[in-house]
Amino acid sequence: MRVHKLTVIAALAAAASLSLTACQNGDDGAAGSGTSSAPSASSSKGAPDQAGSAQPGSAQPGSAQPGGKGGTAAGKGTAAGTTTPGSGKTAKCRTDDLEIKALDHTIDGDTDGTVAVELKNRSGRDCAISGYAGVDLKTSAGSLSAKRTGEQAPAGVLKKGKTVAFGINYPLNTSGGSGVRITGLVVTPPDETKSVTLPWPGTATLPVTDGSGTPVKVGPIGSAGQGGE
């Protein structure tokens, strides 16, 4: 009976030993699989490297930089828009922008008569005016165009509500004869085609000339001073 118990114990011990060995082998297998998984891990690391190598592609959002360039181009377009020809310039004075009147400015003792033509800006905005106005006298002998004096005509801006003037010089009729009767004054502002007809405020007649040229002279805008009203 004792021998039988020892045999059973020995058999159980052997079985336990085999069971322990099998467990250890399982752990070794797990370790081996862990070892074999290491290359997998390194290969998975290789994937991020590949993704990293794809980072130049991620820099391709820089290819969205054309959008940025587009924004710059738009900015340039805006800048170009601000330099459009004619932008920032004061519009010229039109005939309809101006209230025009003529006044006698002859001073006693002068050998020639003087008429000042005033142009008042009634447009409600500033406007540019320079050069010579067209001046024609209506006379009993027909239309007589004034000749420019040749003075320099600087560019200028006529503020809204302000007045600028130019002068007309003409010979006084001291001949004692009837002379040439003046019936009106026609003024055309610089660079305009629309004229206005005004009453002539000077002496009633011009001396008869020999036809060698007009005796009437016109100065540039501003030649007769500039008023504040």
Residue 222 has which token pair? 């501003």
Tens of pLDDT along 204-221? 999 987 666 779 999 999
Q: With 90 as the cut, is the pLDDT of residue 121 above it?
A: yes
pLDDT at 74: 29
> Mean pLDDT of all residues in the chain?
71
Question: Among 47-56, 84-93, 125-134, 167-176, which range has the highest average pLDDT?
Answer: 125-134
Q: Is the pLDDT of residue 136 over 70?
A: yes
Of the candidate ranges 27-41, 108-122, 129-143, 210-224, the one whose mean pLDDT is the lowest: 27-41
DSSP 93: P
* 28-48 tens-digit pLDDT: 444 344 444 444 444 444 444
Among 9-18, 150-159, 219-228, the range scoring the smallest mean pLDDT is 9-18
At residue 225, the pLDDT reads: 53
pLDDT tens digit sequence for 151-203? 998 889 999 999 999 999 999 998 877 889 999 999 999 999 999 999 999 99
Q: Is the pLDDT reported for residue 68 higher than 90? A: no
**Structure token digits, residue 127:** 């406007």
DSSP H or E segment with residue 114? strand 112-121
Whether pTM > 0.95 for this model: the answer is: no
- Region class of 191: left (phi > 0), else alpha (psi between -120 and 50), else beta: left
Buried b / exposed e over 167-199, threshold 16 CB at 10 Å, is bbbbbbbeeeeebbebeebebbbbebeebbeee
**Token output for 36:** 């074999």
Q: Are the beta carbons of 163 and 224 closer than 8 angstroms? A: no
